[in-house]
Amino acid sequence: MITSIVLIKTDVDRIPEIAEKIATLEGVSEVYSVTGAYDLIALVRVARHEDLAEVIPGRISKVQGVASTETHIAFRTYSQHDLEAAFAIGLDS
- What backbone torsions phi and psi does residue 31 show, to the nearest 5 degrees? -135, 130
pLDDT for res 86: 55
Angle at the Cα of 69 from the Cα atoms of 7 and 4, rounded to 5 degrees: 55
85: pLDDT confidence band, cut at 50, 70 and 90? low
Q: Which fold has domain 2-88?
A: Alpha-Beta Plaits (3.30.70)
Domain map of the chain by residue range? Answer: 2-88
Instruction: For the chain, state the CA radius of gyration.
Output: 15
Of the candidates 6, 1, 48, 47, the residue with the CA atom closest to the CA atom of residue 23: 6
pLDDT for res 76: 87
Task: Tell me the per-residue pLDDT of 14-65, one tens digit each, with 9 for 90 and over.
Answer: 999 999 999 999 999 999 999 999 999 999 999 999 999 999 999 999 999 9
Burial of 51 (0-12, 13-18, 19+ CB in 10 A): middle
Q: H or E element: which one contains 90?
A: none
pLDDT for res 4: 97
